[in-house]
Chains A and B, each alone.
Chain A
């Protein structure tokens, strides 16, 4: 009886040892597109959880207690930085009590470090709306920023899991090659529309517009985070007519009424886009996400021209 008991304990010990030896690296990403990149680099050696839902407004995410558990068990936290997560991440990290993912440790990665940040305000004034003090946080909408983030994630994975470093580096190389090919294809597709003037709902698309040479002339929001006002709409409609703006880009989660009204008045077309990987079934990774987005925009512009 006693031997059996000891055997059982031994087995338990062996199982627990082997299970930790082959345990995947647990990564928590604040947004699904950061998560998608981590998945590209880590593949089956990592388990990735994203906090924000791909379909929701990433500025307002609930700090659900289940994420505390996820962060508690995480080996790595990928934070976008640039204050997109300021309203929900800090309490989760405090609750998680996990040394690994605290700032300054190898498990905490700020994805925006190394990104050429756009729209960094020179002064702060909330009368100008909810301006992000560190610059526009929607940097993942430029595929070449995805490359920078991928490199950072690869470096960090190598640091945290040196045994699989070559594997991660190969994945990175592969990902970058695929992305580069795609990027030139996308740029070829959008090239005929270089400089096309567009209107967006929120300042979500500056990185995207810059990469693909679109020109965002106005936002439906008068100021970041402030819903469209009648006065502002009355200003936008003639402006769009004058400038010949034929495209309005809005995020999935936005109300449709005002954009559609403006479109009807100006003859523009509203294109509803996912802004994060996974927002739609056909955008389940970083590359298909841009495939879908570029296709939508190009076909909308083609139909108009």
Chain B
């Protein structure tokens, strides 16, 4: 509706409770986390107030550098694979009749809501030697004997793409739904093949959506914390796993908090980038 500004206290009243809840239970926790990231760790799993940059200084170690490099590389790879598959898929989805589209969306949402625990368990079974896909391949004669693919890098990558795929589809869906059908029809009337029309017209028109999809899928996969433990080996542990590990098992909340703040800054910078892309689209 958006008419006028609220003046009296009564008109502000609906805001008080939600603002208070978000302030107390979201803003203050972040403040505490930020403060703890500068605290000094003391023996026995506790920490005391101080102002030290040691926790951030540990980022400079070779070990942490490796973990960070691996996390970023893995997420980038997963994001590219996801968008590469999700973009044509979403485009085709939006061309389906409404009923079938809705059936797909219900299915995608159900897959999206699957817990990481369940996805990890299911894929470790699918890629196992005793009951996995390789048994199926042996049965049809494509392989000599069943093999185990999990844990391993490929298993982890597959699991991550699986988790991020429905999310990526739902990210791309709004912009592809609105894409003008006539553009493609015009291109085809002018003699372009369907495939050529797709790559030149659709991909071109949705360039910004693809870029923001890539970035948001990247941020999403950066946040995956269980799959590396279920489908990967210790050298495949990502920064999200390290944060949990340092906090819970090493009882080093200050270092965990410093890593979380760092991860947050990276994510915010990337999300900010997608906002800029969105604005460009609105302007152009």
B and A form one assembly? no
Residues in B lying within 8 Å of A, measured CB to CB:
none
Residues in A lying within 8 Å of B, measured CB to CB:
none
